[in-house]
Amino acid sequence: MRVLGVDPGLTRCGVGVVEGVAGRPLRMLGVGVVRTSADADLGLRLVGIEQGLERWLDEYQPELVAVERVFSQHNVRTVMGTAQASAVAMLCAARRGIPVALHTPSEIKAAVTGSGRADKAQVGAMVTRLLRLDAPPKPADAADALALAICHIWRAPAQNRLQQAVALHASNASKGRSA
C-alpha cells in the first residue's frame, strides 16, 4: 500500500509518502513541505497548497491519502487554517477518486510511539527508526506527515476488518427484519 500522509497547515503543509504493509518493513518514498507565505491572500495560499499537493499526487500516485483530523484548540485562527488546508487535501484526493482516511493526533502518536501523548521529538525519532532514515525529517511537519502514513498502513487492516464486521452485522440484521 502506498499512502500520502498530509499534516495540514496554511504556512507549512507536511507531506510524506510511505509504502508497505503492516508487519513488514516500510519504505519512505518522499517527504517534504508545501509552503505558502503568511503575507499572501488566503485564497492564493489555498491554491498554492492545492498545486503543491497535486504535484505530490502526480509524482507518487498514492492509493490512499491520510490526513490529520482537525481537533479543537484554543486558537480558533489556527484551527481554521488547519481545517482549510485539510479540506484542500481531501478535495485533491476526492477529485482523483483516491480514498481519504482521517486520523487524530493522539491516534498517530500512539501508533508510531506507543503513547498518544508523545512529543514532536519522540515522533520524529520513531519515524526515523521505523523508516531506517539517517536523521529525522525536518521540519516536524514533514515527520508528522510520515507518521500519518505509517499510522494508516499499520491500522488499515484492523479498520477494514471492523468495517466488514459492521457491514455483515447490518446485512444480517436487515435480512432478519425482512424475513
Report the half-sphere exposure of 67 (CA within 13 A, side-chain side).
25
Q: What are phi and psi of 22, to 5 degrees?
A: -60, 140
Q: What is the SS3 assignment for 45?
A: helix
- Catalytic positions are 7, 68, 141
Q: What are phi and psi of 168, to 5 degrees?
A: -65, -45
Rounded distance between C-alpha atoms, residue 144 and residue 122, angstroms: 11
Segments in 36-139 forming alpha helices (H): 42-60, 76-95, 105-113, 120-130
